[in-house]
Amino acid sequence: MRRTLLFSLAFITLMLQAQNKPYITKVYDFLPAPGQFVNVSPRFEPGDSFESVMARVEQAICGTTTITSEEVEMPDGSVIMVNDTTINVKPGMISLGTFGGYVVFGFDHPVVNVEGEYDLQVFGNSFQAEGSSTSGGSCEPGIVLVSCDVNGNGIPDDPWYELAGSEYNNPKTQKHFSITYYKPDENKTPVPGQGAITDVEYIRWTCNSVDSLQEGYVHKNSFHKQSYWPQWAEGETLTFEGTKLPCNAVNEGTGSSEYWVQHFYDWGYVDNRTDWAYGYAYNAPSAYETSNKGFKLDWAVDDDGNSVELKKIDFVKVYSAMLQQCGWLGETSTEVCGAIDLHPDAVPEPDPEAVPGDVNGDQVCNSADVTALYKFILSNDSSTIVNGDQNDDGTVNSADVTAVYKIILGEK
């Protein structure tokens, strides 16, 4: 209890004294995959534009909700006295739908990689089930990606790196998973299933799965009768790619009684374990020691699984990492309930002195820099270059390729 109390007081101090805002201040993009809470969290009204939906997403997960009280119950059941101090707790909630649905957000400052510490916390609404025979409950894990504003344009169009969690090397985890959902005919005759399932052939999908079905459906149930397709999304299909985690749901019911338990993974996912010592909602005291303590930037890997050293990041992306149906409970869909930078006033190490000819930012000048330049010139892909203007004429073109060649050959 003493440890919880000290952590809680330290966190309150952090929230009150930080010069940078520790919580989300900007949402850049949001696109849920189909799911029973789509068009509900956040709400969609007929005629709403994408901008209207984005405004509701920002309202839901940016900043914090505050309470002022003399007593606040902490996750382990202890109560702290706050003497009319305003405590910052979780804001609202958005649902990302089934596999691939995502949200992209950032802070009013870079999140710094603090050695040996958790750097970032992203909150969900997971909880441990009462009476479950194993470690589980409502666990709908989402994967975190991070990105640096390498080209300095203030938007998340730079390379993304996955924060590899406990299941990254699980042989049942599929990398480079791709799925396409097909917009449903909302007026078609439904194919009812068992119990509360009103349509087992509601939204069709196809995928490149290597260990299970390559096509199936998102089911519809009687609890949520609105469209499960994001109504502001253009086109007849939605395609998502990423890392798909193994299914974690087990029906622990007996006979015709369904009791679905979604099992916790060890660490490294949003909406997976209960959130550690923060606020008072959605926390199970028994799960305190194994709860979600946050994310480390040291976990970052590239598309090939190689570790990436990040001193700081500017953008965060969270996406649903599961593809499964749980009977009447519906599809597994990650929920996001805000996020904080755990060290908002940390100062990043200064960038190293620029290396002449280093176009791609790896601190050496070689043929890879020439390749990066050609890729930019041919496709205008700004994510491939950090400093393409090697001859300082204000543009990036073939003259910069010549300048880099001269550096490689020792002529400059």
Burial of 63 (0-12, 13-18, 19+ CB in 10 A): middle
Average per-residue pLDDT in the chain?
A: 84
**How distant, in Å, are the alpha carbons of 129, 304, 318 from that of 26?**
33, 29, 14
Q: Do 156 and 274 fall within a single domain?
A: yes
Q: For the residues 287-311, what does the mean pLDDT come to?
A: 83
Q: For the residues 271-299, what does the mean pLDDT come to?
A: 61
Integer distance in angstroms from the first to the last C-alpha of the chain? 64
- Cα gap 29→222, rounded to integer Å: 30
Q: Do 159 and 61 fall within a single domain?
A: yes
Q: Do 335 and 375 fall within a single domain?
A: no
Question: Is a pLDDT exceeding 80 seen at residue 75?
Answer: no
Question: Is a pLDDT exceeding 90 seen at residue 411?
Answer: no
For residue 285, what pLDDT is reported?
36
Question: Is a pLDDT exceeding 70 seen at residue 306?
Answer: yes
For residue 331, what pLDDT is reported?
96
For residue 284, what pLDDT is reported?
33
Question: Is a pLDDT exceeding 50 seen at residue 154?
Answer: yes
Residue 270 lies in a domain: yes
Tens of pLDDT, residue by residue over 363-399, are 888 988 888 888 888 887 766 788 888 888 888 888 9
Residue 189 lies in a domain: no
Tens of pLDDT, residue by residue over 177-234, are 999 999 999 999 999 998 899 999 999 999 999 887 899 999 999 999 999 999 999 9
Q: Which two tokens stand for residue 285?
A: 């005291």
Q: Do 290 and 159 fall within a single domain?
A: yes
Q: How many CB atoms lie within 10 A of CB 151?
A: 16
220-242 burial string, b = 16+ CB within 10 Å, else e? bbeebeebbbbebbeeeebebeb
Which residues are bridge partners to 275 per DSSP?
A: 292
Choose the final residue of a domain: 318, 341, 364: 341
78 versus 295: the higher-pLDDT residue is 295
With a pLDDT cut of 70, the percent of the chain lying above it is 83
Q: For the residues 84-92, what does the mean pLDDT come to?
A: 57
Residues 6+ apart with CB under 8 A from 292: 121, 124, 126, 267, 269, 270, 272, 273, 274, 275, 276
Residue 205 lies in a domain: no
Question: Is a pLDDT exceeding 90 seen at residue 113?
Answer: yes
Q: Do 133 and 274 fall within a single domain?
A: yes
Residues 6+ apart with CB under 8 A from 2: none
Residue 176 lies in a domain: no
Which CATH number fits the domain that encloses residue 384?
1.10.1330.10
Choose the final residue of a domain: 308, 341, 374: 341
Tens of pLDDT, residue by residue over 273-283, are 876 544 333 33
Tens of pLDDT, residue by residue over 314-352, are 999 999 999 999 998 999 999 999 998 989 989 877 766
Instruction: Flag the least confident range among 21-25, 215-219, 236-240.
Output: 21-25
Choose the final residue of a domain: 296, 322, 341: 341
Parent domain of 383: 352-412
With a pLDDT cut of 90, the percent of the chain lying above it is 53
Give me the number of domains the chain comprises.
Answer: 2
Task: Please provide the DSSP assignment of 88-133 as one string.
Answer: EE----EE--STT-EEEEE-SSPEE--TTS--EEE----EEPTT-S
- Cα gap 142→96, rounded to integer Å: 9
Residue 286 lies in a domain: yes
Residue 251 lies in a domain: no
